[in-house]
Amino acid sequence: MELTKREKRKLRLEKLRQESLTTQKEYEQRLEHQQQTQQQQAKGSKSKYYVIASAIGIIVLAVSAYSVYSINKPGLYDNFAKCLTEKGAVMYGAMDWCKYTQGQKAMFGKSFKYINYHEFDELPDIKKTPTWVINGAWHENAQSFEKLAALTGCKL
């Protein structure tokens, strides 16, 4: 039995509807898959962010702890510098502009805070900086630790 034009047309339309529905479902599935992928990537980037933030936090904490440790760590020449001051040694210099005064300070490092230091203009007649005054004697220029130890009897 032969189909009429109308029936053929109905069948074609039905077939097209089915294909359209199938295509629409495939499209929706692809869209859903893309959304799931994007959500997973967003979760992954969030966890990457947390990992990076944690690493940075640990680094900052470690640097802070080391800074506190090194600030509170005693200087290498603390006892020597304290002894010089106890024995009455006074260093006169020009910290702002004299490289030799700055060099003498650098020799002591963190321990310089224990040195009895004064600016050169506090003692008249100083011609060179730094000048050490030890037991009333003036010792011009930067002095070695050995010489300072010999002059004062302090141990290095």
Q: What is the dihedral of CA 88, 94, 95, 99, to 10 degrees?
A: -110
Q: What is the pLDDT of residues 60-97, one digit of tens each?
A: 999 999 988 888 888 899 999 999 999 999 999 999 99
Span 118-138, average pLDDT: 95
Q: 116: exposed, middle or buried (C-beta count within 10 Å: 0-12, 13-18, 19+)? A: middle
The predicted pLDDT at position 40 comes to 81
- What's the CA gap between 30 and 40, in Å, rounded? 15
pLDDT tens sequence across 26-71: 999 999 999 988 888 777 777 788 889 999 999 999 999 998 888 8
93 neighbors 129 (Cβ within 8 angstroms):
yes
Whether omega for the bond prior to residue 124 falls within 30 degrees of 0, making it cis, is no
Q: Where are the chain's structural domains? A: 1-73, 78-152
Q: To which H or E segment does residue 91 belong? A: strand 90-93
| Superfamily, domain 78-152 | Glutaredoxin (3.40.30.10)
For residue 145, the model assigns a pLDDT of 97
Question: pLDDT-derived band of residue 3, with 50, 70 and 90 as boundaries?
Answer: confident
Q: What is residue 111's predicted lDDT score, i.e. its pLDDT?
A: 95
| Look-up of token digits 């004064």 | 118
* DSSP H or E run through 138: strand 137-140
Q: Burial of 48 by CB count in 10 Å (0-12 exposed, 13-18 middle, 19+ buried)? A: exposed
Rounded mean pLDDT of 105-127?
95
pLDDT of residue 73: 87
Would you give the DSSP letter of residue 4? P
The three-state secondary structure class of 132 is strand
Cα angle 9, 12, 16 (rounded to 5 degrees) comes to 140
- Position 86 scores a pLDDT of 97
| Greater model confidence, 2 or 153 | 153
In which band, very low, low, confident or very high, does the pLDDT at 110 lie, cut at 50, 70 and 90? Answer: very high
